[in-house]
Amino acid sequence: MNADLVVVGSGLFGLTVAERAANELDLNVAIIDRRSHIGGNAYTENEEQTGIEVHRYGAHLFHTSNERVWDYVNRFTDFTDYVHRVYTRHQDEVFPMPINLGTINQFFRAAYSPAEARALIQEQAGELAGTDPQNLNDKGIQLIGRPLYEAFIKHYTGKQWQTDPKDLPASIINRLPVRYTYDNRYFNDKYEGLPVDGYTAWLERMADHPKIDVRLDTDFFDDGHDYSRSAVSGQVPVVYTGPVDRYFDYAEGDLSWRTIDLEQEVLPVEDFQGAPVMNYPDADVPFTRILEFRHFYPQRNYTKDATVIMREFSRFAEKGDEPYYPVNAPVDREKLLKYRDLARGEDKVLFGGRLGTYKYLDMHMAIGAALSMVDNKLKPHFTGGASIESGGVDA
């Protein structure tokens, strides 16, 4: 074994740790990943028939207000001037999202001023105005009024969670953005864009270092290779970014996740929906949204003879599914407390990333957390001899 550090998982968290460990700390780093590609869920590839770049695990839009993260990612890629805008198709009419003055006036066939729209929403919250609802359904009505909530949020959320919103905690939507202007930019961050050459090119540059050894199609839990759990445990520090319950062989039970099923189709038209993302909030449509990838890069000279769309279906994950979003129900939090204690008892193992910490992390959050781990855990150990306190799982 020639590694000073083993990183399990090549998503953005793992790649950031590996890149900093090699470039800043001059360490030999082994990255292993059970998949056949690097990049985790941010991986993209060109669709064979059309050449259109497809986000293999659903849409990934980069945005951040973190100056350090923005400076860091710009070492590996330039970004386009893409600004994410979402539309929603309700009862065969298309509205801009998130809910803004344009959505409100179109929905009510009115020309309300910002003050008039605010007063209307307050009135439509009815008896829930000024209260503290504990379920998602009532919280949604309180925040945006019953008509808008039932049109755009209720059934969409029900499809996402496969659960009646009355049975979901209010914390899922502690705030629903309503803009009393015509601004329909989806994100509010200072920086936003897509990597000019695509995500995979960016991520490959992060791993392109003589001190980084990438091993794909390699499972940490399979014996018989140099960087298996049995081979490295207690020998070298490990940054583990896989599912935390899997690391402990589900000793405290399975944590609950939502997953998505993606149905890709090539259509013989230049443009299917005129936008990158179209939500479908109505109960009689089984999917939650349709992605059309040509619109992520309008500057590219894609074919005019075909387009690629992807329908997204949401459901609870089962064994063997890709976990996307932590459910984080009370029973999950109880299990996570136990896994946190188990993680602290490991020998030189740091848990990170979305799966390793059971937290939903946007891309910029994963990168920021990885940079913090390097600063606060790995650098003191490798440059100053500080011991590594295992853990990283919070509850």
Active site residues: 175, 179, 258, 289, 312, 360, 362
Note the helical H segments in the chain: 12-23, 67-73, 101-108, 114-124, 136-144, 146-152, 154-161, 199-207, 229-232, 244-247, 330-344, 353-357, 363-373, 379-384
Mapped onto helix, strand or coil, the DSSP state of residue 77 is coil
Helices 199-207, 12-23: inter-axial angle, 10-degree rounding: 30
Taking the CB of residue 300, how many other CB atoms lie within 10 A of it? 12
Q: Mind spelling out the 3-state secondary structure of 218-265?
A: CCCCCCCCCCCHHHHCCCCCEEECCCHHHHCCCCCCCCCEEEEEEEEE
* H helix or E strand, kind and range, residue 31: strand 29-32
Taking the CB of residue 113, how many other CB atoms lie within 10 A of it? 11
- CA 250 – CA 266 distance, rounded (Å): 40
Candidates 58, 49, 66; CA nearest to 323 is 58
Paired strand residues for 5: 29
Check if the beta carbon of residue 117 is closer than 8 Å to that of residue 180: yes
